[in-house]
């Protein structure tokens, strides 16, 4: 089986594949998954052609080639008679153009959607018959598109961890009380919620230290940073009242900003820490999976995150960590774990076993292998089942709309549930405004 993998590397600086695959280079969760899956498939019988603006040094794939964008990658794949092209769906116009180019040249492809699909890219993926599959990384993410036409092409494959993620150094003697946050320092990752409750937590546990492994440059190495050097100037202005105006002031608040760290460095910190924190956003910018959550759990650390989205599938509430609904809940759960080291240790041990069973590379890699063969053969897609766990009125509404859309009439005229709900909200909002006048 000959496959192509397209990776948009324009926001990265030069990198070496050896360092990336060994966990020694800071990369985002999404980027790391692309690199590691490419190497895994190459090592397990696939002939992988890696297309990128900067393919990196010492690429382990069969071929590494320079391309300008996804459209050029689709054309190169067709010229090379590749069976399937795999790419990440970023949802922007360039990706949509690339999907249409796959259709035009008749190149079978798989869209790997880590965050969507948004209505536009979902519609195009559905219309293009050569986009054979759209892969979501959690059932929660897939359910968000249950009422879109593209749902018929959606498959769910969780992200996975390499075996090295579970090789953890023994914690040092005289272990400090550390709360470890891992993630990009952008509003979408919710660090501001943690910053706002940190002093309350520290008042209860003065010996505690908050270590922040992250930066506003995680996804874009050229992003502008504010005077603290941790995030965009706008986001830093939101954080300063809680973390201080300088790194020295932050240290006085018990906060250490470590910047961009490699997966190995975060793993080693997790082995020293008491509790981990990932995206605490209860709504809006929620996680579809959260690689950081499973990486810290793999190191034996209980993790606290929002009770939303994919975190419901990566953290077992009350067993491997806690899921929270708001800032008060966040502060309480952090205090519970900081104040009960025995409970934190028990949860951390459960977390390591849970992640190893559920998100190990071998099992997830086998799922990818099957999916690629199915896409190449244009085999029918198995429908993502409706699961009772996590079922709410929104998911139920989307499922009802999906089934109505299958009817000859009026199904072909029905919009997605999300669009219909927005129309209803606008109508009632307009009606209330007129009533007030």
| Whether residue 352 sits in one domain with residue 366 | no
Q: List the beta bridge partners of residue 182.
A: 213
What is the average pLDDT score of the chain? 92
| Whether residue 111 sits in one domain with residue 257 | no
pLDDT of 62 strictly over 60: yes
In a domain, 428, yes or no: no
| Whether residue 187 sits in one domain with residue 94 | no
| Whether residue 208 sits in one domain with residue 142 | no
The DSSP bridge pattern shows strands 47-52 and 2-7 to be parallel
Q: What are phi and psi of 360, to 5 degrees?
A: -70, 150
Query: Residue 186 maps to which CATH number?
Result: 3.40.50.2000
The pLDDT of residue 278 is 98
In a domain, 406, yes or no: no
In a domain, 437, yes or no: no
The pLDDT of residue 100 is 98
- Find out whether 320 and 303 touch, Cβ atoms under 8 Å: yes
> Whole-angstrom Cα distance, residue 214 to residue 183?
5
* Whole-angstrom Cα Rg for the chain: 22
pLDDT digits (tens, 9 = 90+) for 107-164: 999 999 999 899 899 999 999 999 999 999 999 999 999 999 999 999 999 999 999 9
The pLDDT of residue 293 is 97
Give the ranges where 50-105 is alpha helix by DSSP (H).
70-79, 93-105
- The last residue of one of the domains, among 324, 344, 376, is 376
pLDDT of 46 strictly over 70: yes
The arithmetic mean of pLDDT across residues 205-216, rounded, is 96
| Whether residue 213 sits in one domain with residue 250 | yes
Residue of 248, 257, 268, 250 lying closest to 202 (CA atoms): 250
Question: Which residues lie below 8 Å from residue 138, measured CB to CB, with a gap of 6+?
Answer: 156, 158, 288, 289, 309, 310, 313, 314
| Whether residue 197 sits in one domain with residue 67 | no
**191-204 vs 327-338: helix crossing angle, rounded to 10:** 50
The pLDDT of residue 164 is 92
Angle at 116 between CA 92 and CA 97, to 5 degrees: 30
The pLDDT of residue 31 is 94
pLDDT digits (tens, 9 = 90+) for 355-382: 999 999 999 999 999 999 999 999 999 9
> Whole-angstrom Cα distance, residue 365 to residue 369?
6
The pLDDT of residue 406 is 78
- The last residue of one of the domains, among 358, 391, 412, is 358
The pLDDT of residue 403 is 78
The pLDDT of residue 25 is 92
The pLDDT of residue 151 is 95
In a domain, 387, yes or no: no
pLDDT digits (tens, 9 = 90+) for 379-388: 999 999 888 7
- Find out whether 299 and 271 touch, Cβ atoms under 8 Å: yes
In a domain, 421, yes or no: no
The pLDDT of residue 432 is 54
> Whole-angstrom Cα distance, residue 186 to residue 236?
9
| Whether residue 121 sits in one domain with residue 67 | yes
pLDDT band at 434 (very low <50, low <70, confident <90, very high): low
The total number of structural domains in the chain stands at 2
The pLDDT of residue 284 is 86
| Whether residue 181 sits in one domain with residue 53 | no
pLDDT band at 44 (very low <50, low <70, confident <90, very high): very high
pLDDT digits (tens, 9 = 90+) for 160-182: 999 999 998 887 776 789 999 99
In a domain, 212, yes or no: yes
| Whether residue 147 sits in one domain with residue 42 | yes
pLDDT digits (tens, 9 = 90+) for 81-121: 999 999 999 999 999 999 999 999 999 999 999 998 998 99
| Whether residue 115 sits in one domain with residue 22 | yes
Give the range among 197-211, 390-404, 405-419 with minimum mean pLDDT: 405-419
In a domain, 381, yes or no: no
| Whether residue 292 sits in one domain with residue 206 | yes
- The last residue of one of the domains, among 344, 376, 408, is 376
| Whether residue 352 sits in one domain with residue 273 | yes
In a domain, 171, yes or no: yes
Handedness of CA 133, 136, 138, 143 (dihedral sign): negative
Range of the domain at 120: 2-160+361-376
The pLDDT of residue 222 is 87
pLDDT band at 409 (very low <50, low <70, confident <90, very high): confident
């Amino acid at each position: 089986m000959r496959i192509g993998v397209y990776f948009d590397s324009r926001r990265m600086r030069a990198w070496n594949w050896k360092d990336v695959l060994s966990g020694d280079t800071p990369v985002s969760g999404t980027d790391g998954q692309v690199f590691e899956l490419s190497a895994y498939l190459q090592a397990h019988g696939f002939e992988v052609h890696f297309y990128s603006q900067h393919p990196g040094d010492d690429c382990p794939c069969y071929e590494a080639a320079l391309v300008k964008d996804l459209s050029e990658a689709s054309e190169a794949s067709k010229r090379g008679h590749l069976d399937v092209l795999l790419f990440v769906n970023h949802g922007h116009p360039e990706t949509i153009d690339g999907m249409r180019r796959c259709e035009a040249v008749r190149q079978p492809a798989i869209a790997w959607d880590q965050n969507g699909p948004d209505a536009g890219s979902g519609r195009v993926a559905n219309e293009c018959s050569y986009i054979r599959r759209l892969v979501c990384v959690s059932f929660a993410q897939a359910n968000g598109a249950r009422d879109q036409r593209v749902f018929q092409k959606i498959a769910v494959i969780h992200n996975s961890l390499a075996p090295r993620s579970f090789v953890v150094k023994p914690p040092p003697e005289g272990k400090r009380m550390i709360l470890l946050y891992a993630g990009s320092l952008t509003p979408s990752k919710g660090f501001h919620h943690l910053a706002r409750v940190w002093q309350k937590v520290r008042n209860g546990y003065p010996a505690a230290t908050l270590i922040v492994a992250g930066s506003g440059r995680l996804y874009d190495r050229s992003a502008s940073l504010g005077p603290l050097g941790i995030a965009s100037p706008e986001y830093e202005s939101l954080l300063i009242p809680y973390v201080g105006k300088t790194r020295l002031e932050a240290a006085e608040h018990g906060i250490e900003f470590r910047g961009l760290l490699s997966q190995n460095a975060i793993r080693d910190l997790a082995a020293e820490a008491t509790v981990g924190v990932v995206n605490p956003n209860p709504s809006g910018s929620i996680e579809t999976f959260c690689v950081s959550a499973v990486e810290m759990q793999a190191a034996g650390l209980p993790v606290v995150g929002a009770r939303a989205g994919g975190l419901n599938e990566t953290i077992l509430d009350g067993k491997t960590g806690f899921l929270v609904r708001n800032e008060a809940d966040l502060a309480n759960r952090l205090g519970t774990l900081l104040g009960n080291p025995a409970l934190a240790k028990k949860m951390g041990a459960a977390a390591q076993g849970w992640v190893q069973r559920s998100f190990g590379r071998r099992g997830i890699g086998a799922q990818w292998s099957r999916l690629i063969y199915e896409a190449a053969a244009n085999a029918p897609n198995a429908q993502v089942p409706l699961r009772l766990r996590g079922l709410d009125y929104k998911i139920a509404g989307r499922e009802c709309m999906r089934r109505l859309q299958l009817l000859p009439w009026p199904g072909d005229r029905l919009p997605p549930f999300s669009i219909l709900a927005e129309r209803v909200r606008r109508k009632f909002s307009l009606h209330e405004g007129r009533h007030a006048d």
